[in-house]
């Protein structure tokens, strides 16, 4: 630091910045813009420009189409005038041009600078603000195009009988089969976590058991969700509600042993197959047991799911996508209804069916007699048509022979192979012969 007549120069005020990073679902694996990579780039920029990081805000697995993201809301509440927001790119802040303009207006009113590393833009200058608006519009265009492409892909998948979403927690899907829905088999680790949730909840039905405490217990026992470090109370509630209904409806129990789960995974058998009917769909090939693939129905992928409904039935909008659970529950409903119809036949129903069969047989006999009479009439008409065609053919041959003789008498050099009239008459005779 420079000295002025033995005194220290006045200290330069520190610049403070706050780092904001975000990844949406699946983007971390597809593009490589992970949370750690974004934070490293932002910290390097802050160090280069001699800024002190006052806080880092992370939104994991959150879409950028809205501004009500937990970490971003917290950032707007805690940041002060004169500080800088550092983000990896404009798309990390917002995927909507309208929302991004709102962020810029808020930052300008509060005296905050917004910096993006990828586009190398600083909103402090007029030119930088203008270029930022252009990049924001391009970012929204990219998001809209991606959404349209995904909708087209989902429509094609639904027509082919495939699922359009990732499997729910507790399941994994094997490769798609052309014309059939995805085969959903249990994920052992996740199903054990669901077993533990239902077990703890079932043990404490007589007294309140806070879901937050359940979340802490699952975290201590090593059970983790797919995208975050621990289960939230809301996610536990949703998983238990859906899985309890599904298991009781299909398997008749809310707790499924580990050995049974391993059996489903080993056979690659869909988890929609009830426990009591597993043996019906197991065959032995090359000395090993495997699933025969009969518990699937490709026609169900175009139907609308109507399960897990509570309260009054409300008018619903047409669905846009189906999960593997949706398709397999539809399969189970159809199989269950078919089984119940076959097993629930009593004597009265048998009698009614016999009466119906007798009536149908009488109607069938009447119809058959009408068909026989109609067939005989048709045969007679066909025979009459053939006789008429034979007479027409004979007359055509006679006219042809007479024409040839007269032509040869008039002109000894007459050639019937090049004469137009003779060729026309021969063509008519050939058509009549082909009709016979």
The answer to whether the beta carbons of residues 99 and 72 sit under 8 Å apart is no
CA distance 302 to 388: 54
Report residue 389: phi and psi, to 5°.
-65, -35
Residue 282 confidence (pLDDT): 87
% of the chain surpassing 70 pLDDT: 71
Assign 19 a pLDDT band (cuts: 50, 70, 90).
Answer: very high
The answer to whether the beta carbons of residues 71 and 57 sit under 8 Å apart is yes
Q: How far is CA 351 from CA 348, 355, 357, in A?
A: 5, 6, 10
Q: Are strands 15-23 and 7-8 parallel, antiparallel or unpaired?
A: unpaired
Is this prediction's pTM over 0.95? no
Q: How far is CA 74 from CA 20, 47, 68, 321, 398, in A?
A: 11, 24, 10, 33, 105
Question: Considering only CA atoms, which of 176, 180, 194 is closest in space to residue 231?
Answer: 194
- pLDDT of 37 > 50? The answer is yes
> What superfamily in CATH does domain 12-155 come from?
Resolvase, N-terminal catalytic domain (3.40.50.1390)
Report residue 396: phi and psi, to 5°.
-65, -40
The DSSP H or E segment spanning 339 is helix 324-343
% of the chain surpassing 90 pLDDT: 4
Tens of pLDDT, residue by residue over 253-299, are: 888 889 989 988 888 888 888 888 888 888 888 888 888 877 765 55
The DSSP H or E segment spanning 85 is strand 84-87
Average pLDDT value over all residues in the chain: 76
Tens of pLDDT, residue by residue over 75-121, are: 988 988 889 999 988 888 887 777 777 888 788 888 888 888 887 77
Tens of pLDDT, residue by residue over 48-70, are: 988 999 899 998 878 777 888 88
The owner of tokens 């995805």 is 182
56 forms bridges with which residues in the sheet? 19
Residue 21 confidence (pLDDT): 92
Residue 18 confidence (pLDDT): 92
What is the average pLDDT across 113-139? 71
The answer to whether the beta carbons of residues 128 and 146 sit under 8 Å apart is no
Tens of pLDDT, residue by residue over 150-198, are: 777 777 765 655 566 677 888 887 765 565 566 778 889 999 999 888 8
Tens of pLDDT, residue by residue over 205-257, are: 545 567 888 888 888 888 888 878 888 888 888 888 888 888 888 888 888 88
The answer to whether the beta carbons of residues 53 and 83 sit under 8 Å apart is no
Name the token pair of 339: 């089984």
Rounded (5°) CA angle 39-212-253: 115
Three-state DSSP at 243 gives helix
Rounded (5°) CA angle 340-161-260: 55
């Amino acid at each position: 630091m420079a000295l002025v007549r033995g005194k220290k120069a006045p200290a330069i005020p520190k610049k403070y910045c706050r780092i904001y990073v975000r990844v949406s679902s699946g983007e971390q694996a597809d593009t490589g813009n992970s949370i750690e990579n974004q934070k490293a780039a932002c910290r390097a920029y802050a160090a280069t420009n001699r800024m002190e990081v006052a806080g880092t805000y992370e939104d994991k697995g959150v879409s950028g189409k809205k501004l009500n993201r937990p970490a971003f809301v917290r950032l707007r509440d805690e940041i002060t005038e004169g500080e800088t927001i550092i983000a990896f790119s404009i798309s990390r802040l917002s995927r909507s041009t309208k929302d991004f303009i709102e962020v810029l207006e808020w930052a300008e009113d509060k005296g905050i600078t917004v910096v993006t590393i990828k586009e190398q833009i600083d909103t402090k200058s007029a030119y930088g603000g203008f270029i930022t608006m252009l990049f924001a519009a391009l970012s929204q265009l990219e998001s809209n195009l991606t959404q349209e492409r995904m909708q087209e892909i989902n429509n094609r998948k639904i027509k082919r009988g495939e699922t359009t979403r990732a499997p729910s927690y507790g399941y994994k899907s094997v490769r798609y089969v052309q014309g059939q829905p995805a085969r959903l088999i249990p994920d052992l680790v996740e199903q054990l976590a669901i077993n533990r949730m239902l077990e703890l909840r079932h043990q404490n039905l007589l007294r309140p058991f806070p879901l937050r405490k359940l979340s802490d217990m699952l975290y201590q026992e090593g059970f983790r969700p797919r995208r975050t470090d621990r289960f939230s109370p809301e996610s536990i509630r949703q998983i238990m509600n859906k899985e309890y209904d599904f298991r009781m409806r299909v398997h008749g129990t809310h707790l499924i042993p580990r050995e049974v789960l391993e059996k489903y995974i080993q056979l690659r058998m869909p988890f929609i197959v009830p426990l009591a009917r597993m043996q019906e769909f197991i065959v032995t090939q090359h000395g090993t047991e495997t699933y025969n693939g009969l518990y699937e129905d490709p026609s169900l992928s175009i139907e609308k799911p109507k399960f897990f409904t509570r309260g009054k039935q409300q008018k619903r909008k047409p669905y846009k996508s189906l999960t593997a659970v949706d398709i397999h529950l539809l399969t189970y409903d159809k199989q269950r209804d078919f089984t119940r119809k076959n097993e629930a036949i009593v004597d009265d129903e048998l009698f009614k069916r016999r009466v119906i069969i007798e009536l149908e047989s009488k109607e069938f006999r009447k119809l058959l007699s009408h068909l026989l009479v109609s067939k005989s009439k048709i045969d007679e008409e066909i025979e009459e048509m053939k006789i008429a065609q034979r007479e027409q053919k004979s007359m055509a041959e006679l006219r042809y022979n007479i024409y040839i003789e007269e032509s040869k008498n008039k002109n000894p050099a007459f050639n019937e192979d090049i004469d137009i009239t003779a060729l026309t008459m021969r063509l008519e005779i050939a058509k009549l012969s082909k009709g016979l």
